Structure 1
Amino acid sequence: MTYDPASANPLAGNPLETREDMSRALLDLFDPLLPYFLKGNARVRLDGAGAHFDRAAADLEGFARPLWGLAPLGAGKGDFAHWRRFAEGLANGTDPEHPEYWGTVNGRDQRMVELAALGFALALVPDKIWEPLSKRARANVIAYLKHARQFDYADNNWKFFRIFVDIALDRVGAEFDRSLTRQYLDELEGFYIGDGWYRDGNVRRVDHYIPFAMHFYGLIYSKLVDDDYAKRYRERAALFARDFRNWFAPDGATIPFGRSLTYRFACAGFWSALALADLEALPWGEIKHLCLQHLRWWKDKPMTNRDGILSIGFGYPNLLMSESYNSAGSPYWAFKAFLPLAIADDHPFWTAKEKAPAPSESVSPQRHPGMVVMRAGGDVVALSSGQENLQMRFGTEKYAKFAYSARYGFSVEADERSFAGGAFDSALAFSDNGLHYRVRETNAEAKLAGDVLYSRWSPFKDVSVETWLVPATPWHIRVHRINSPRPLQTAEGGFAIAKRDFDLDVLEAGPGSAHVIGDADFSGIVDLGSTVSRIGLAQKALPNTNLIVAKTLVPQLRGEIPAGETVLITAVLALDDPAAASGAWTTPPAAPDISALEARVTKDGITVSAIEAPGQMP
């Protein structure tokens, strides 16, 4: 029988409409893990690929992360036949004399991350994994948690991990220094920007970690603890929901942006956490729809290996896009989506009729992440300026492109010495030798003026670029003013769309434009009157560079710029309609006046919050 990647997806065929459907989805996703529990049940070892941390921590990750979904299932009285494994594994993993001991925390350590899931489970289902333990095992668990919490945690969402450990220690009656809990709660306050938005630490990074980490943990905290912090978390989540709903397309896809996208449907975790916290930030029917529709989007994606194990990757198995901290167990943070299983059948999340949120304005400027979110057909696109991440592999592609699409994702480059073969989707690349290239990595300045984004950046030390991003739905316009002391080659890309086998796609390229037509999509790029001429190219991108589909086509404009000042004006269109070639593509927007854009930013421009991270200089 021929292997069908999509049919190996445990969500395939599940309507994902009811509580029973969600329970089934969770168990179908968990069951493939069972053969990979080691004998003592403390470790789950999935494959031989490595992360930057040791194998014991990776095995703990495989053991602990499913608890983000299994603990809510248990709290909601759902049937689960393997609690004995988790009680036994907890006992053995914290026993220094057991062969499957997780290892001792002796500094900042990946184990700190995974202990948050254990803390969460101990708080939610102590009857499943605590009460069955012997006196000696309980003492070992408490000793392990208390030892780990004395070390310094990373200065970002990790601070919540110690708080969850502390909640668990409190629930099991242990004595510990509660002042450390208050210290981290206070320090987390420093990451709050306003209007419901956080940074993930004092860095220029405002990504999916805000909903599926900062708000996710805050909302769980508000369910487990009643204090002033809990009230703040709830108030902020209600504000955040108004913006975050605009990141989701009608088909349930969300804008993939930033790091850790292998956590996949953890992106629904914010909506799930609202349900657990009983916080009606939007009407319950809309929260339910945003949550379940996102899960449904994943049903036909080849996101697992042959045995149903979630792969590292996004739309398909793809180590290229991974982070150094992704082990084979990492993707199971996706189980954060299953928090609603903890709430009763008669909760309004379950009883409300699903309702798609009413279409908001076609353009949604969001100052804090530095985005202008716009709708184009069935897609949602975020024009973006002001973020950066130089610490992560492919951080440039994950944070500094001009646009990010829910339907077309983004691509990472496979070869930094292949200017000719680069995808450069939603990017402007420069090369001074035809081999190596530079794109936008950081911004010296980033401002939002109404629905126009402005940034100033340098691909080389002696080259400066000013970029204006302008929505013109369903198009968007990019204006680049470049000053260079030497000639440079340039390449600018539109959106990447799926490439069919047997060369069945339509590829058209000529002076000043290029477009590609696939099975279900159109993507094009056109020059609107630059000061130099550019030639179109229909680029067949290297395989496995795009997050959502393995093979793509990218329309590009390429050309040379002379020394001095050059202005490039570009319009980009991508639609889930091949007929756009004879429709929207035939009526591109007019080129904006650059002096009017300058005046607008000077008059109305406000600095993007993401770029104002403390301690960082432009």
Structure 2
Amino acid sequence: MTAVEDRRLSPYTGWTRGHWTALADRLLAAAGRYRSPGGARIDLPGPASRNGRGSDGLEGFARTFLLAGFRVAGEGGADPGGLLEHYARGLAAGTDPASPEAWARPDELGQSKVEAASIALVLQLTRPWLWDRLDDAVRDRVVAWLATVIGQPYPPINWVWFRIVVESFLREAGGPWSASDVEEDLAVHASLRRPGGWLSDGAERAYDHYTGWALHLYPLLWTHLFDVTGTLCPGSLRQQWASDLRDYLDDAVRLVGTDGSPLLQGRSLVYRFAAAAPFWVGAFTGTSSLSPGLTRRVAGGMVRHFADRGAPDGLLTLGWQHAWPAMRQAYSGPGSPYWAAKGMLGLALPAHHPVWTDVEEPLPIETGDVARVVVAPGWLVSGRRRDGIALVVNHGTDHAHPGDQRADSPLYARLGYSTATVPPLGSVPDNTVVVLDADGRASHRAGFETCYTTELPGGVLAAASTGRVRWVDTDGDDSPDHGSGRSGPVVPGPVLTVVSVVRDGIEVRLARLGTADVPVRSLRLSGWPVSDATRPVTEPGAAAARTPALRSEVRSLRGFTTADVAVEAGISPLGEWTAIPFVATDGPPAPGAVFAAVVVLDRGGPDEADPSLAITADGRHVTLTWPDGVSAEVPLPA
């Protein structure tokens, strides 16, 4: 039976808890058709990950187990669909070394370390209805399988929480565990903390959705499900984590578009609405500063965004709205997208909880324009109420260290990301300022230095970054894709400085180049990619493209003499055709000269007059003056 929309309770999404439970049931039923005879694997169709089909089947089991656990916990243990019985069979077979469906142990396969955490988390969440009812022999085998994590090496990223969760469950179950492992992993987590409640997924400048769906999710769930007496985690640390989450959510709620789309940036985007997880963990643990109605609005908007656009259509596939295998990383298998279950953690809250009974409240972008500086990732966050698009201009994130010599990672190092666009796989990179060498190859600038990010009077945001660009031959790098750029022989180029000034959702992008020691053809500045099922409309001789939903335009303010649009097919999950407008110089740019362009992404509407631009005599500052009289002076680093 289809749930009926309730626009009184949910004026923005129409969804009630009944829509969520119905979606969960459909997802579980569709995946359950691929359950192995013993129940230990869910062998979903699609290309295998580099870990092989056995690992992928475990992934299907563990990640759908998350959703089943949330579903049953929210009903107080009621399980009319017999979900836990299916997973109990799977636990028995998967941990039996003599079973043909035996899982690779965490000390044998790295991916098992990840999936072990989902299993342990749900076993704790549903303990009275599953773990306590398992046969002693099965419990012993599960403990033995999980215990192989003890003392194992874990990369110093979000993975440390997988070991903390597993060993904490072992402790609760009376099994072996290592206090030194937990202490070591908590120290790694502490090293990942950054200003404003943000966390980097590793020592590199790796800011993405892992901040929310992993590095904020597990700590507070841990304190509420496992370490309830506080013997492992002191109260001061709990308070710190809660404060970090509140600060992070205050930013994250501004990174969601009116249509519910999360920001299309960073790796593992096939997890889709897992981006709702940090909002739910705030409600689940009572640590959120967001109201219950706003929590349901943002989380429900994300899930409905995909439900209304074909994902899921039965199964969650490797893609975004629909299947698009090119989005997968090397570690992605057919079961990977079911980490989206994290975005349905709210189902573990009972029907009488305020997140289900309070009236939905609007997103920040639905009540006014958004303008914010987020220091840790080096982002200028902007959104206009009339467009409903949230976007960031990026001068601090590249999944690299300063001075890195690798190529740019498209999902991290672009100058802009939004809730309506995604970096395509075409020949002209979007949202870049690049130097073209004599052969027309575009330069890379990952490893740049962030100069500043600041908010100025009049709602003006500004940021700058600088660094020596390079050309990288990556043809020989076939290493697994974990988010960083690729390596290869490097030809060093000149120093490139880029400044962004954003007001009312429109960016003025400035660039200045140092002296080049190699032949340079030109300087090119590209704008936002727009994608659609049909070929976008372009204007001859102009850097502008339109789809029925979006407009992207780049207008030269200073120095650029040519304008064009690159149009290609099959390079984006958002549509068959993608267009990227760009402007360029006719020849080599003069060292020290300042180049500037206006970069626009919107849903149409009135054209707005461009600001005037003046440069101080010493070339160290730029003043922009808009037609309404607002003026801003920004530094132009040498």
For the superposition of Structure 1 and Structure 2, which TM-score range results when normalised by the shorter chain? 0.7 to 0.9
Aligned counterpart for 1:299 among listed residues 303, 307, 311: 307
**SS of alignment partner, residue 132 of structure 2:** coil
* Aligned twin of 2:55: 57
Contact 1:68 1:117 (C-alpha < 8 Å) held by counterparts: yes
Structure 1 position 589 matched with structure 2 position 611: yes
Letter in 2 for 1:256: L
Structure 1 position 381 matched with structure 2 position 364: no
Distance change (3 Å), C-alpha of 1:11 and 1:542: farther
**SS of alignment partner, residue 364 of structure 1:** strand
Q: Matched residues in 1 for 2:533 and 2:92: separation?
A: 51
Structure 1 position 255 matched with structure 2 position 263: yes
Contact 1:434 1:489 (C-alpha < 8 Å) held by counterparts: no
Identity %: 23
* Aligned twin of 1:454: 464
Mapping of 1:233-272 within 5 angstroms? 233-272=241-280
- Greater relative CO (CA pairs within 8 A, separation 6+): 1
Q: Matched residues in 1 for 2:292 and 2:4: separation?
A: 26
* Aligned twin of 1:444: 449
Structure 1 position 104 matched with structure 2 position 105: yes
Q: Matched residues in 1 for 2:119 and 2:144: separation?
A: 14
Contact 2:57 2:335 (C-alpha < 8 Å) held by counterparts: yes
Q: Matched residues in 1 for 2:510 and 2:4: separation?
A: 43
* Aligned twin of 2:527: 494
Residues 116-153 of structure 1: CA deviation (Å, up to 9, x unaligned): 10011110112443234322211111111111232011
Residues 255-292 of structure 1: CA deviation (Å, up to 9, x unaligned): 11111111100011111111211234112211121111
Letter in 2 for 1:61: E
**SS of alignment partner, residue 447 of structure 1:** strand
Contact 2:554 2:597 (C-alpha < 8 Å) held by counterparts: yes
Structure 1 position 29 matched with structure 2 position 34: no
* Aligned twin of 1:616: none
Distance change (3 Å), C-alpha of 1:442 and 1:457: same
Aligned counterpart for 1:46 among listed residues 39, 44, 48: 44
Contact 2:440 2:521 (C-alpha < 8 Å) held by counterparts: no
Contact 1:491 1:558 (C-alpha < 8 Å) held by counterparts: yes
How far residue 12 of structure 1 moved from its aligned partner, in angstroms, is 13
User: Which ranges in structure 1 are unaligned for 5 or more consecutive residues?
Assistant: 1-9, 414-421, 608-618
Aligned counterpart for 1:558 among listed residues 557, 560, 584: 584
**SS of alignment partner, residue 71 of structure 1:** helix
Structure 1 position 525 matched with structure 2 position 533: no
Distance change (3 Å), C-alpha of 1:489 and 1:173: same
Q: Matched residues in 1 for 2:273 and 2:341: separation?
A: 8
Contact 1:516 1:555 (C-alpha < 8 Å) held by counterparts: yes
- Which segment drifts farther, 182-191 or 21-30? 182-191
Letter in 1 for 2:16: T
Q: Matched residues in 2 for 1:591 and 1:499: separation?
A: 34
Q: Matched residues in 2 for 1:506 and 1:191: separation?
A: 44
Residues 400-438 of structure 1: CA deviation (Å, up to 9, x unaligned): 11111111233234xxxxxxxx24221123332445332
**SS of alignment partner, residue 523 of structure 1:** strand
Distance change (3 Å), C-alpha of 1:254 and 1:144: same
Q: Matched residues in 2 for 1:261 and 1:535: separation?
A: 35
Distance change (3 Å), C-alpha of 1:128 and 1:600: farther
Contact 1:387 1:442 (C-alpha < 8 Å) held by counterparts: no
**SS of alignment partner, residue 146 of structure 2:** helix
Structure 1 position 576 matched with structure 2 position 586: no
Contact 2:523 2:589 (C-alpha < 8 Å) held by counterparts: no
Structure 1 position 407 matched with structure 2 position 420: yes
Structure 1 position 548 matched with structure 2 position 549: no
How many residue pairs get aligned? The number is 574
Letter in 2 for 1:74: V
Residues 158-191 of structure 1: CA deviation (Å, up to 9, x unaligned): 1111111123213323243333223322331121
Letter in 2 for 1:343: L
Structure 1 position 72 matched with structure 2 position 70: yes
**SS of alignment partner, residue 411 of structure 2:** helix
Letter in 2 for 1:520: A
* Aligned twin of 1:610: none
Structure 1 position 147 matched with structure 2 position 148: yes
Distance change (3 Å), C-alpha of 1:131 and 1:381: same
Mapping of 1:363-374 within 5 angstroms? 363-374=371-382
* Aligned twin of 1:321: 327
Contact 1:248 1:255 (C-alpha < 8 Å) held by counterparts: yes
Q: Matched residues in 2 for 1:436 and 1:44: separation?
A: 45
How far residue 500 of structure 1 moved from its aligned partner, in angstroms, is 4.5
Distance change (3 Å), C-alpha of 1:98 and 1:202: same
**SS of alignment partner, residue 311 of structure 1:** coil
Q: Matched residues in 2 for 1:12 and 1:495: separation?
A: 38
How far residue 216 of structure 1 moved from its aligned partner, in angstroms, is 1.0
Q: Matched residues in 1 for 2:377 and 2:39: separation?
A: 42
User: Which ranges in structure 2 are unaligned for 5 or more consecutive residues?
Assistant: 7-12, 456-460, 471-491, 624-632
Residues 346-375 of structure 1: CA deviation (Å, up to 9, x unaligned): 211112110013446631011111100011
Letter in 1 for 2:118: A
- Which segment drifts farther, 252-261 or 180-189? 180-189
**SS of alignment partner, residue 282 of structure 1:** coil
Q: Matched residues in 1 for 2:299 and 2:22: separation?
A: 16
**SS of alignment partner, residue 551 of structure 1:** strand
Structure 1 position 170 matched with structure 2 position 203: no
Q: Matched residues in 2 for 1:432 and 1:246: separation?
A: 39
* Aligned twin of 2:363: 357
* Aligned twin of 2:501: 470
Structure 1 position 346 matched with structure 2 position 352: yes
Contact 2:407 2:445 (C-alpha < 8 Å) held by counterparts: no
Letter in 2 for 1:187: V
* Aligned twin of 1:290: 298
- Which segment drifts farther, 150-159 or 224-233? 224-233
Q: Matched residues in 2 for 1:572 and 1:301: separation?
A: 28
Q: Matched residues in 2 for 1:518 and 1:64: separation?
A: 40
Mapping of 1:116-127 within 5 angstroms? 116-127=117-128
How far residue 446 of structure 1 moved from its aligned partner, in angstroms, is 4.0
Mapping of 1:420-439 within 5 angstroms? 422-439=427-444
Q: Matched residues in 2 for 1:107 and 1:604: separation?
A: 54
Residues 29-81 of structure 1: CA deviation (Å, up to 9, x unaligned): 22111221111110111135122223222111111011222211111125433
- Which segment drifts farther, 220-229 or 373-382? 220-229
How far residue 220 of structure 1 moved from its aligned partner, in angstroms, is 1.1
Q: Matched residues in 2 for 1:35 and 1:16: separation?
A: 30
Q: Matched residues in 2 for 1:360 and 1:596: separation?
A: 39
Letter in 2 for 1:440: R
Distance change (3 Å), C-alpha of 1:86 and 1:140: same
How far residue 564 of structure 1 moved from its aligned partner, in angstroms, is 4.2
1 or 2, which has the higher helix percentage?
A: 1
Mapping of 1:189-200 within 5 angstroms? 189-200=190-201
Residues 189-232 of structure 1: CA deviation (Å, up to 9, x unaligned): 12111321111121211111111111111221232133323332
Distance change (3 Å), C-alpha of 1:546 and 1:352: same
